[in-house]
Structure 1
Amino acid sequence: MSAAAITLLAVFIGGLLTGVPIVFCIGLASVVTLWVADFPQMILAQRVLSGTNVLSLLAIPGFILAGELMMHGGLSKRLVRICQTLVQHVTGGLGMVTVLAATFFAAISGSAPATTAAIGGIMIPEMEKRGWKKDFAAALASAAGPIGQMIPPSIPMIIWGVVAEESISQLFLAGIIPGILIAAGLMILCYFTARRQGISAETSRATKSELINAIRDGKWALLAPIVILGGIYGGIFTPTEAAAIGVTYALVIGIFVHRELRIPDLFNITLKAMKTATVVCFIIAVASAFGWLVAIEQLPATIANGILSVSSNPYVLLFLLNLFLLFVGAIMDNIAAMIILGGVLQALGVHIGLDPTHLGAIVVINLAIGMATPPFGYSLFVGAATSNLSIEQVSKALWPMLLVQFVVLMLVTYVPFITLALPTLIR
């Protein structure tokens, strides 16, 4: 390994261990390595510019803004009401409402933190009031939020599609069944937890008229993913254009139909969305320079060969790949991880013989689980902040949910049909 490669890793890991924000770890490591390798510093600016000069990345601020507008426009609470009428009579029903609502909202926002904030803000106080332990409610919202990373329109799927030069539409399809399986697993966990905590069904079964009224009131919320995803797979517009359609849809419904979105609020809502999008794009820009240095120093091949030297058995290699990604997801931003490790992961995927779409699903699901994993999971931070509990309190209640997600991850890894069924069908 060259001096430049050692410098790159040493500065990056040293920054992480000393608590430096990851985007500055990446940037500092890139600057120092360029100096050590005697490359012109102009390369940093060039890579930052080229890393963000990708049309598909325009979908990211669009979907973030659409999610914010739909949350403030009343769509999230209508989704909660629909879900409540479906499962309110089941033991653990209120917990199931949290999971179902997060799954529906994921198909609107595509963001794990946004889903956790939107659904957790409504459901955590309600679950506590109905006898659920507050730490479990916060952990459930934190674990359900990352479903937004799997169910389209998924922002990480867009990033991986750009990094790996794969079809974003195919990657969207690959995440649907895994997302549903994780949602089903979390709902089953809610049932057994409610029984263990002595929580009975919250109310009687909703009447037919109550269900019809809830669906009628929330029809525009249910229609949102149909418009966005139907347009993409119907060939009407691209994923990037779908983001703009989502923003327009949210504005029209929030202002003129539900009338809960006020014109004076739009500035602050847009500002909040753009702050989030700026952070994402800043990470992408800086990580592009880092990723270029990683490729130049042939670190992907070195790391891939190191993993491959452990075993030649593809099942063992897949398990090691998952452990590696789970570790990375727990300590590192998922977008930066995909850009930095893209070459490594693609090299491993080719050696093992993975379908590129299957590999993309494995990568995104692993890093999505990392969004709720201590110590640095973003959804975990949002769940703790929303519930006013410490990270430690929420983390203790989170482990059964992480176990459910790990089981689904293993199924996805070793049964490719789960991720490839829908892409193959549509293809």
Structure 2
Amino acid sequence: MSTVAIAILATFLISMFGGVPIAFALGLASVLGLYMADFPLVILAQRLIAGTQSFSILAIPGFILAGDLMMHGGLSRRLVKFCQALVQHVTGGLGMVTVLSATFFAAISGSAPATTATIGGIMIPEMEKRGWKRDFSAALSAASGPIGQMIPPSIPMIIWGVVAEDSINQLFLAGIIPGLLIALGLMLVCWIVARRSPHIPRESRATRKELLDSLWAGKWSLLAPVLILGGIYGSVFTPTEASAIAVFYALIVGLFIHREMKLAALPSIVMAAMRTSAIVCFIIGIASAFGWLVAIEQLPSAIASGIMSVSTNPIVILLILNLFLLFIGAIMDNIAAMIILGTTLSSIGAQLGLDPIHLGAMVVINLAIGMATPPFGYSLFVASAISGQSIERLSVALWPMLLVSFVVLMLVTYVPAITLFLPSFIR
């Protein structure tokens, strides 16, 4: 490993663990690396711009804005009510409502923090009123949020598709079954906790009228993922065009059908989405520059060689790769991680003979689980902020949910059909 590679890696890690925002930590390391390698600093600006010049990346601000509009337009609240009427009578039903609602909302927003914030904001107080511990409710919201990274339309799947030049449509399909398996696992955790907690009451079954009323009230919410995903896989529009359709749909429903969103609120909603999009795109751009530099210094190949040299057994290598990605996901922004490590991971996947779609699903699922993993998981921070519970308390409550996610991850890793079954229909 060259002196420049060691310097930029050390600068990045020291900056990040010193509390510097990850985008600026990447920028500092990139500037130092360019200076040490005697490259003109203008390359940083060039790579930053080049890293965001992809048509597919346009989908990201679209889906972010669509998610915000749907939240303010009352679609998420109606989703929760429908899910509640569906499973409230089951043991642990209210916890299951959180998971089901997150799964439905994931098919609208594509973002783990957005899913955690939206569903957690509604369900954490409701669960606490019904006898659930607040730290468990918040931990469940944090663990359910990453389903938004797996169920399409998934923002990280779009990023990986751009980085690895894989089919975004196939990557979308690859995340559906793993996302549903994690949802089922989290619902099982809710059932076990409720069975062991006598202070959690069992709710009465919703009447047929209540169920039909909630279905009718939530019809526009439930139609959103059908419209978005049906349009994509029916070849009516691309994922990028689907994000614009989702924004238009959310505006029409929020302003003229539900009438819960006012025109006066639009500027603040758009500005909030723009801030989030700007942060994401800046991370993409600066991580692209950093990734180019470390590729020039052959750091990815050094990491790939190090992982491949540990064992000749593919099972062992895949386990090590998963542990590495889980660690990265727990300490680093997943978008930056995918861009920086894309070359390395693709090289390892090729050497192991992995299908590129299978590899992409593995990477995204690993990093999605990291969103809820201590110490730096974004969903964990969001759940802590909206619940008032400390990261330490949430970390304790999270362990059975993370265990479920890890079991599903192992299934995805060693049973490729879980991720490749649905994509096989559009190849």
What are the within-5 Å matches in structure 2 for residues 27-426 of structure 1?
Answer: 27-426=27-426
Contact 1:89–1:201 (Cα < 8 Å) also in 2: no
The structural deviation recorded for 1:379 is: 0.4
Deviations 1:149-185 (CA, angstroms, capped at 9, x unpaired): 0000000000000000001000000000000000000
What residue identity is the alignment partner of 1:75?
A: L
May I ask how many residue pairs the two structures share in their alignment? 427
CA distance in 2, matches of 1:203, 1:192: 16
CA deviations 1:3-22 (Å, max 9, x no partner) are 21111111111112222111
TM-score normalised according to structure 1 size: 0.99
- Aligned to 1:265, the other structure's residue is in SS state helix
SS in 2 for 1:52: coil
TM-aligned CA deviation for residue 200 of structure 1: 4.9
8 Å contact kept, 1:102–1:115: yes
Question: Residue deviations 1:210-265, cap 9 Å, x none?
Answer: 11111111000000000000000000000000000000000000010000011001
CA distance in 2: counterparts of 1:201 and 1:170, whole angstroms:
42
Q: Give the Cα–Cα distance (whole angstroms) in 2 for the partners of residues 354 and 224 of structure 1.
A: 34
Distance 1:149 1:280 in 2: 14
Structure 1: distance between partners of 2:79 and 2:291: 40
* TM-superposition CA deviations, 1:94-123 (whole Å, max 9, x none): 000000000000000000011001100000
Structure 2: which amino acid aligns with 1:30? S
Question: 2:195, 2:403 → 1: CA distance?
Answer: 19
Instruction: Note the C-alpha offset of 1:407.
Output: 0.4
How many percent identity over aligned positions? 71
Q: Which runs of 5+ in 1 are unaligned?
A: none
Contact kept? 1:48, 1:286, Cα under 8 Å: yes
Instruction: Provide the secondary structure at the position in 2 that maps to 1:236.
Output: coil
Separation of aligned partners in 2, 1:312 and 1:70: 49
| Uncovered stretches (5+) of structure 2, i.e. residues with no partner | none
Distance of 1:324 and 1:91 partners within structure 2: 37
Stretch of structure 1 that moved more, 191-200 or 104-113? 191-200
CA contact (8 A) 2:108 2:153 kept: yes
Aligned counterparts of 2:376 and 2:48: Cα–Cα separation in 1: 25
Secondary structure of 2:135 counterpart:
helix
Distance 1:290 1:351 in 2: 24
Q: Which amino acid aligns with 2:169?
A: S
Once residues 201 and 342 of structure 2 are traced to their aligned partners in structure 1, the CA distance between those partners, rounded to angstroms, is 46
Q: Distance in 2 between matches of 1:81 and 1:35?
A: 57
Residue by residue over 1:334-374, the C-alpha shift from the partner in whole angstroms, topping out at 9 and shown as x without a partner, is 00000000011000000111100000000000000000011
